[in-house]
Copies of this chain bind each other. A is one copy, B any other.
Amino acid sequence: MTAPKKVVLAYSGGLDTSIILKWLQTEYGCEVVTFTADLGQGEELEPAREKALMLGIRPENIYIEDVREEFVRDFVFPMFRANTVYEGQYLLGTSIARPLISKRLVEIAHETGADAVAHGATGKGNDQVRFELAAYALDPDIKVIAPWREWDLSSRTKLLEFAEQNQIPIAKNKRGEAPFSVDANLLHTSSEGRVLEDPAEEAPDYVMQRVTPVEQAPDAPEFIEIGFEQGDAVSIDGERLSPATILTRLNELGGKHGIGVLDLVENRFVGMKSRGVYETPGGTILLEAHRGIEQITLDSGSGHLKDSLMPRYAELIYNGFWFSPEREMLQALIDKSQEHVTGTVRLKLYKGVARTVARWSDHSLYSEAHVTFEDDAGAYDQKDAAGFIRLNALRLKLLATRARRLK
Contact = CB atoms under 8 A, between A and B. Distances in A.
Nearest to A135: B393
A403 B136 CA distance: 13
Nearest to A397: B140
Taking residues whose C-beta sits less than 8 angstroms from the other chain, chain A's interface range is 35 or more
26 contacts: A124-B385, A136-B396, A140-B400, A140-B404, A146-B386, A181-B373, A199-B296, A199-B360, A199-B366, A202-B357, A263-B355, A268-B371, A271-B394, A272-B370, A273-B295, A301-B326, A304-B326, A329-B336, A332-B335, A351-B353, A352-B352, A370-B394, A384-B386, A384-B387, A384-B390, A388-B392
A401 interface: yes
Contacts of A365: 273, 395, 398-399, 402
Interface in A346-402: 346, 350-353, 355-360, 362-368, 370-373, 375, 380-402
A406 interface: yes
A183 interface: no
Nearest to A359: B199
Closest 8 CB pairs of A and B: A387-B387, A123-B382, A271-B394, A267-B300, A384-B387, A351-B351, A200-B360, A140-B397
A51 interface: no
Contact of A87 (B272, B307, B320, B368): B307
A88 interface: yes
B325 A299 contact: yes
A58 interface: no
* Identical chains in the assembly: 4
Nearest to A267: B300
* Among A148, A312, A386, A396: residue with most chain B CB under 10 A: A396
B329 A333 contact: yes
A357 B346 CA distance: 30
A234 B215 CA distance: 30
A173 interface: no
A329 B302 contact: yes
Given A295-B264, A366-B199, A406-B363, A132 B393 contact: yes
A280 interface: no
A207 B55 CA distance: 63
A324 interface: yes
Contact of A265 (B181, B261, B366): B366
B307 A325 contact: no
A371 B273 contact: yes
B155 A375 contact: yes
A136 B387 CA distance: 14
